[in-house]
Structure 1
């Protein structure tokens, strides 16, 4: 068991190190040689866990879609909002998430193994469909359209915020995004009860966040 746990930790450390390289230099310029230098592992040890750089990139992308921190709420719309707020809160602290976004907008990487945007869209759509079934959405609101456009808007806000480090943080900007979206999709009775505070994600994750 100890050997298996050590292998898991090694695999995660490789992905985190490669994620850092993807962020710093981009997919094309990130090399195995640089990864060897950064991790202190041999090429053989790296290849034992990941046979190619492409496999490492896929590993980074696979870890990006998560419902970590989302708790059952009275309204499914709140869970949908929490999905975006939690991701915004975790993004600056977790290189794997930042690298996943960078890989998704990198034309070379995207042409090789796609993105995880469809998975995020599907995850959001599932919550929105439940919200619709509970009467939480306005009659004209279409879950598939909302989910698709929200993922596109979220990604754009993240990229712009990262490029403007002196401006508001991602937590604040994403909270504002939902504050603009929700009046157009949430029923009046539900809208007043939704929490879109930029501090909500930190409260959901607890004091360690």
Structure 2
């Protein structure tokens, strides 16, 4: 009997987390309430507090699990794959409520007494992995530091998606990410790499050979 209970507990936690993401995405941390989250999840107060100690605890979970379940595009590691990942994340931000809420809470985390860069560091680590592969493929200029570039890219991406959110509710985010790469690549990629890279929205995996 233990396994059915465990499965039910996992489903309940996931339902609460998803409901919290929806409410945080719509209202932000300050506007959200535990009662609204419980009602959205169709859960009990006991179930809520079994899995999460407080609204702050729930917000931290949404913020730090924002990347869970995202299926990244396939491709050979390197600059094109990194570009494809960032374009894919742009479309995910248009439809993935957990990612959207996690990003919003990462910006608002001061409101619930948190100073946690875990989510940013995780994305920087993913980007860095692709940049190391790009270095091995000879795609980066000699003066480029892969770790520094990963940090710059996460910073620029964060600002880009926030600007897009305010301007168009992220409707134009893929185009803005493509524009970011258009101006970033000349400073980091070799001419040979730039000649075959594709940065337009919907161009994942279509690099010119």
Give TM-score, length-normalised by structure 1. 0.85
Whether the 8 Å contact between 2:16 and 2:38 is mirrored in structure 1 is no
Cross-structure match for 1:11: 13
Larger deviation: 58-67 or 125-134? 58-67
**Count of matched residue pairs:** 202
Ranges in structure 2 where 5+ consecutive residues have no aligned partner: none
Asked if 1 retains the 8 angstrom alpha-carbon contact of 2:124 and 2:151, the reply is: yes
Counterpart-to-counterpart distance in 1, 2:112 and 2:133: 31
Equivalent position SS for 1:69: coil
Do the aligned partners of 1:28 and 1:108 also contact (CA within 8 Å) in 2? no
Q: Deviations over 1:60-114 (max 9, x none)?
A: 12322366223132x5111211221111110110111111111111152574151
Q: Name the structure 1 match of 2:62.
A: 60
- Identify which range, 156-165 or 4-13, moves more after superposition: 4-13
**Contact persistence 1:27–1:103 (CA under 8 A):** yes
Q: CA deviation at 1:160?
A: 0.9
Change (3 A) 1:147 1:167: closer
| Structure 2 length-normalised TM | 0.85
Pairing of 1:1-209 with structure 2 (within 5 A): 1-65=3-67, 68-73=71-76, 76-109=78-111, 111-115=113-117, 116-165=119-168, 169-200=172-203
The alignment yields a C-alpha RMSD, in angstroms, of 2.4
Tell me how far apart the structure 2 counterparts of residues 153 and 190 of structure 1 sit (CA, whole Å). 21
Counterpart Cα distance in 1 of 2:113 and 2:37: 23
By how many angstroms is 1:58 displaced?
2.3
> CA 1:112 to 1:140, structure 2 compared with 1: closer, same or farther past 3 Å?
same
